[in-house]
Structures are given as structure tokens and as C-alpha cells.
Amino acid sequence: MTIVAGLEMKTASSFSAFMVTGVSVANVGCNLFVRNPKSGGKTLIDFDLALTLQPCLLLGVSLGVICNRMFPNWLVTSLFAVFLAWSTMKTCKKGRSYWNSESERARVRRDGDEDRIEGARSPLLIKEGEERGKFRFPWKKLGVLVIIWLLFFSIYLFRGNKYGQGIISIKPCGALYWILSSLQIPLSIFFTLLICFSDNVQSSHSSHNQDSEKDTKDVRTNHGESLNKFMLPVMALLAGVLGGLFGIGGGMLISPLLLQIGIAPEVTAATCSFMVLFSSSMSAIQYLLLGMEHAGTAAIFAMVCFIASLVGLVVVKKVIAKYGRASIIVFSVGIVMALSTILITTHGALNVWDDFVFGRYMGFKLPC
């Protein structure tokens, strides 16, 4: 919004929160009750992944926002360019791997060798005929995610922002401000440990890892399950920190990481959209409660994004169904990341050049 519409950063941030919420609502609405037949009738959205990732992702975003205030623009721009370029390269490489495996299955299918088809890896695409098991919607897990959302939202609402805007009067960056902010750390640790050591989530991760092994060529060790279980929160924390640092949220950054560990493209897309809905809706509601300007215009933008997202989902699903290639999702993520790398890095570099030309301070700053 800052680059295209020329809005101020504060206004652009509030508009972006509403627009991302509109896109996420469309995605979640289309995927919430869709089955993932490869996981025995579970939903396409992996609630176990969302539970494992969400607390640390929200904590990471808060830490990243603090780093964004402290780090100079040239450092943020450099880190953004390096990380997103690396993520784009890895995502495209993963997409090519999926594309090759899909081509191999198509060739085997044309040859009519049914034995080789049975022995090949499970297809990335989820077909209606493969559905098995009774559909079970995880209402309890959704309830836990809502509780996590409410707790983090309460902290943000009472703490307010750096301008002192909150439901109670708190001095920005004062003692009470930092006490409320620090509550996110034990809250994230508590829910992460509770979820990681839950028998229900452990068994779900076990079955999910078995499905993922069928989808990729990755060779896992006997300790792969426990490694992934404890690495996922670390990945979420890293994605959140970088997302908050770069001001783009953690959803776009967690997608390539999930693809790298073998999560199917459809599951990655659906789960990340679900997680982004939590963070974006939290920001949007905060802006509303704090009396944001041009709320009506932001709502119109959100509705336009909602409709555009629905159209995009329908088109992508038809293309995937026609050509039998779920790798299109991976390449789409890679293209978006590549464009973001070029546009945002260019914009950041121009800002850094302006700071240099006009002799502005280009060192580290205090968080307040």
C-alpha cells in the first residue's frame, strides 16, 4: 500500500490488516470443512500444525516488531533481501521436485503399469475417490486456538501501541508496558509445551509424518518425528521474528519452511491461511477499537480482496484438477515471494539512499 497507493506507513498498516483478513477469511471459508483423505478423514487444515506453530509465531511477531524499531533501515533491507531470496530459491527448487514427481506418476500412469503406480509415492493432489474414514472436525483444537487468540489479543489490547493507544492508560515503553509485553513469553512456552506433549497431537504428528514421507523423497531418521515436533515451534518463532522485523507477517515466511520439511502443498496453503487469519484479524480488531480513520474504506478494500481471493481459489482449483499438478501452488508461492523481494527491497533501498543523502541517523535505535 505504501508503494502502490502512496499511503503513510501507519495508514497502510491498518489497511493491510483488513485486506489480509479478507483474503484469509475467503481461504479459510473454502478449506475449513474440506477433508484431507490421506490423513483418514481429517480436515485439509492441519490443526495440529496450527496449534504447534501459532503461539511461537505470535511471540515471534512481537519480538520482530521490537527489532524493527531498533534496527536501522539498511540492515532490515539487507536481511529481508537475503532471507527472501533464499526462501524463493528453496521454494522454487521444492516446486520443481514436486513437478518432476508428478510428471513421473503421469508417465507411469500412461504406461499402464498398475504395480508401479501402487509402489510410487502417494499423489500430491487430493482426490475425492481416495477419501476414507469418517469426517471428524477438531472442535476442541479450534477452541484451544481461539483461547490462545483471546489471550494474546487481551495482552495487546491492554498494553496498547507505541503511541499509548489502548483501552487503559499505560505509559508507552513504561514498566507496566514491558511487564504486559513479557507475559507473551511464558504464555507461548506454556501452550507450546502443552501442545507438544499432548498424546493427541503426538499421534497426529506421527500419522502426518507417515503421509509426508509418501509425498517426498526426503530420508528421515528414526528420530525424525521428535525432531520435527520440537523444530516446528523454533521455525515458527524464527518466521514470526522475521515477519515482524520486515513488516509482512509470518504467514508468507512459514510456508517455504513447511514445504521444506515435506508438508503437502495443499495442507501448507490451507494451514498458513488459517494461521494468518488469527494474526491479521487480531491487528484489524485492534485498529478498530483504537479508533482508526477511514474504517469504511478499509472494509471496502477487505471485501474486494475477499472476492478476488475466492476467484483465485476457484481458478487455481480448476487448473490443478485439469492438469493434475499441485506443484502449481508451490510455484505461486515462489512467484509472490520473488515479486515481494524485488519490490520491497527496491523500495527499502531507495529509503536507505534518501537517509544517506539527507544525512539522517543510520545506526541502531532504542526500542522506544
- Cβ neighbors of 42 (< 8 A, separation 6 or more) are 35, 36, 136, 138, 204
Nine cell digits for residue 7: 499511503
pTM over 0.85: no
Residue type at 349 in one-letter notation: A
Q: What is the DSSP string of 247-287?
A: TS-SHHHHHHHHHHTT--HHHHHHHHHHHHHHHHHHHHHHH
Render pLDDT for 204-259 as a digit per residue (tens, 0 to 9): 555 555 554 444 444 333 344 445 677 889 888 888 888 778 767 666 778 888 88
Render pLDDT for 41-95 as a digit per residue (tens, 0 to 9): 678 888 988 999 999 988 888 888 888 888 888 998 898 889 889 989 988 998 9
283 pLDDT band (50/70/90 cuts)? confident
pLDDT at 7: 61
Nine cell digits for residue 3: 508503494
Q: What is the mean pLDDT of residues 299-306?
A: 92
Nine cell digits for residue 279: 494474526
Render pLDDT for 79-138 as a digit per residue (tens, 0 to 9): 888 988 998 998 899 899 989 988 888 888 877 655 554 555 444 454 444 445 566 788
DSSP H or E stretch at residue 43: strand 42-43
Residues in the chain, total: 368
The mean pLDDT of the chain is: 79
> Are 275 and 32 contacting, i.e. CB atoms less than 8 angstroms apart?
no
> Are 282 and 149 contacting, i.e. CB atoms less than 8 angstroms apart?
yes
Q: Kindly tell me if the per-residue pLDDT of 186 is higher than 90.
A: yes
DSSP H or E stretch at residue 63: helix 47-70
Distance CA 50, CA 46 (A): 6
Distance CA 168, CA 157 (A): 9
Lowest mean pLDDT among 14-23, 37-46, 320-329: 37-46
Nine cell digits for residue 317: 482449483
Beta bridge partners of 42: 36
Distance CA 60, CA 246 (A): 12
Rounded to 10 deg, the angle between the 265-289 and 251-260 helix axes is: 160
- The more confidently predicted of residues 160 and 275 is 275
For residue 319, which phi and psi values (nearest 5 degrees)?
-65, -45
- Provide long-range contacts, Cβ within 8 A and 24+ apart, for 158-163: 160/290, 161/286, 161/290, 162/69, 162/368
